[in-house]
């Protein structure tokens, strides 16, 4: 039982759009026991689409197609599917009513090309789109299922969540696929691999596959079982996880793709504490991460992006003399910024960053990638100077992760965790 994803769109091939749909589909299909075997991107070309449908259905049971369903002339997926399945188009009344309503609600004129979006292949089961005007289509041929959905992520998610996942779950017998991811921070991939080598060797006989997923400053370890008895596999993964924590527990900050910002938000909520941020080189990204989830107003009081020295002095009360003596990029200035933000916002914790994200602005003494991070806590301040890399985006990412991890560790200390 395996699936294959076909994304259609020249914009994906020429790099104008990143194919994030494939990852979303992979994750959601896995959760119901459908393994994605291959994922392909092709252009808006009829011959290529027809070829791919033949190829994919020779290998896979479910073929999921995204893209090419818009109302404009460059969108050819629907007509190509009609040709492939030898089907004509008929107006679907439910779709037509929805599309009409969509334009009425927005007070926009409905055009003939919009009406034509309700013309759907007679041989498909129509999947209604509650978030847009392009319907989805479910075809079956020689025991294989073909599902075509729009490329607009928000619309595709809606169809999958509202209908398609359930239809697939009913249509196929599926094994239980299990994944367990252990998220580490502050340790290198090969150092980690060396530490857990004998533990890793013990996984094969339990039918557990291990993957290392490095990203800036972090490594995720993923254990996967693709076959076998669910309860046996669950128990084995659980046991192996306990063993792993004995070895590298100090580096583990979360599980199963729980992002660091989510973990930190949860800790703040649990402890009933609040945080504020004063960001220089990270330009609002920490505030953004801390408010990414709903309900963050419970613990996030506010943030200041203080690009200029004047603001650091006026609002955060960083003495000009300190900036002159220690440089604006210094742990001392970062600490005063954190204390200033804590006082200003009246919070329990405050994070501050100051540094040179690059690519310009570096000096011999303070090269690009130098970033000082400080945290003011109920019991004092901690700070550290880092030397990251040359790239602006990576420097900002690493600084944010490091800052959030600093906060996480301090909260755990406060509540007596490890």
Write out the binding residues for a second copy, residues 2-41 only, by CB under 8 A: 10-20, 22-28, 30, 35-41
Contacts of a second copy in 106-145 (CB under 8 A)? 108-109, 111, 113-114, 131, 133
For position 305 contacting a second copy by CB under 8 A, the verdict is yes
Q: Please enumerate in sequence order all residues whose Cβ is within 8 A of that of 202, keeping only pairs 6 or more positions apart, or say none.
A: 240
Site string for a second copy, 310-349 (x = CB under 8 A): -x---------------------------------x----
Sign of CA dihedral 15, 20, 21, 27: positive
Assess 212 for contact with a second copy (CB under 8 A).
yes
Which two tokens mark 410? 């301090």
CA distance 404 to 289: 9
Binding to a second copy (CB under 8 A) within 219-238 occurs at 220, 222, 224
Any idea which residue has 């004092």 for tokens?
380
When the beta carbons of 290 and 375 are compared against a second copy, the nearer one is 290
Binding a second copy by CB under 8 A: which of 47, 54, 58, 72?
72
Beta carbon of residue 88, minimum distance to a second copy (angstroms, whole number): 23
Q: Token pair for residue 351?
A: 């994070």
Q: How far apart are CB 166 and a second copy at their closest, in Å?
A: 19
Binds a second copy by CB under 8 A, chosen from 167, 283, 322, 385:
283
Task: Please count the CA atoms within 13 angstroms of the CA of 360 that sit on its side-chain side.
Answer: 0
CB of 123 to a second copy, least distance (A): 26
Look up residue 417 and give its DSSP letter.
Answer: -
Residues 286 and 279 sit within 8 Å (Cβ to Cβ): yes
In the region spanning residues 363 to 402, those forming contacts with a second copy, defined by CB under 8 A, are 389, 391-392, 394
**Which one among 294, 365, 379, 418 touches a second copy, defined by CB under 8 A?**
294
Q: 118-132 in b/e burial notation, b at 16+ Cβ within 10 A?
A: bbbbebbeebbbebb
Pairing of strands 2-8, 62-66: parallel
Query: Closer CB to a second copy, residue 193 or residue 412?
Result: 193
Contact with a second copy (CB under 8 A) among 1, 46, 90, 214: 214
Angle between helices 77-84 and 46-59 (to 10 degrees): 60
| Of residues 176-195, those binding a second copy (CB under 8 A) | 179, 181, 188-191, 193-194
């Amino acid at each position: 039982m395996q699936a294959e994803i076909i994304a259609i769109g020249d914009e994906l091939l020429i790099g104008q759009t990143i194919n994030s749909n494939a990852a979303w589909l992979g994750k959601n299909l896995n959760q119901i026991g459908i393994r994605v075997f291959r994922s392909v991107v092709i252009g808006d070309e009829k011959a290529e689409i027809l070829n791919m449908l033949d190829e994919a259905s020779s290998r896979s049971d479910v073929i999921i197609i995204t893209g090419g369903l818009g109302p404009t002339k460059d969108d050819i997926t629907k007509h190509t599917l009609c040709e492939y399945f030898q089907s004509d188009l008929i107006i679907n009344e439910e779709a037509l009513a929805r599309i009409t309503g969509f334009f009425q609600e927005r007070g926009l004129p409905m055009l003939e090309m919009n009406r034509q979006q309700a013309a759907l292949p007679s041989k498909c089961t129509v999947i209604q789109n509650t978030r847009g005007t392009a319907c989805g289509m479910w075809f079956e041929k020689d025991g294989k299922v073909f599902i075509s959905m729009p490329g607009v992520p928000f619309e595709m998610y809606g169809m999958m969540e509202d209908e398609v996942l359930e239809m697939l779950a009913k249509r196929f017998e599926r094994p239980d696929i299990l994944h367990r991811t252990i998220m580490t921070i502050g340790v290198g991939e090969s150092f980690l691999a060396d530490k857990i080598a004998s533990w890793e060797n013990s996984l094969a006989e339990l039918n557990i596959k291990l993957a290392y997923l490095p990203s800036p400053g972090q490594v995720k370890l993923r254990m996967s079982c693709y076959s076998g008895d669910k309860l046996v596999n669950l128990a084995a993964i659980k046991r192996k996880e306990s063993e792993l924590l004995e070895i590298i527990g100090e580096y583990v900050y979360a599980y199963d793709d729980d992002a660091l910002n989510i973990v930190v938000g949860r800790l703040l909520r649990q402890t009933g504490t609040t945080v504020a941020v004063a960001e220089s080189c990270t330009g609002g990204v920490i505030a953004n991460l801390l408010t990414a989830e709903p309900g963050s107003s419970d613990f996030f009081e506010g943030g200041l992006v203080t690009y200029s020295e004047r603001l650091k002095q006026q609002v955060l009360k960083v003495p000009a003399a300190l900036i002159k003596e220690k440089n604006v990029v210094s742990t001392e200035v970062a600490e005063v910024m954190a204390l200033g933000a804590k006082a200003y916002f009246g919070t329990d914790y405050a994070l501050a960053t100051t540094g040179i994200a690059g690519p310009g602005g570096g000096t011999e003494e303070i090269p690009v990638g130098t970033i000082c991070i400080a945290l003011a806590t109920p019991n004092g301040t901690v700070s550290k100077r880092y030397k990251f890399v040359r790239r602006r985006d990576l420097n900002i990412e690493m600084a944010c992760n490091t800052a959030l991890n600093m906060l996480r560790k301090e909260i755990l200390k406060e509540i007596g965790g490890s």
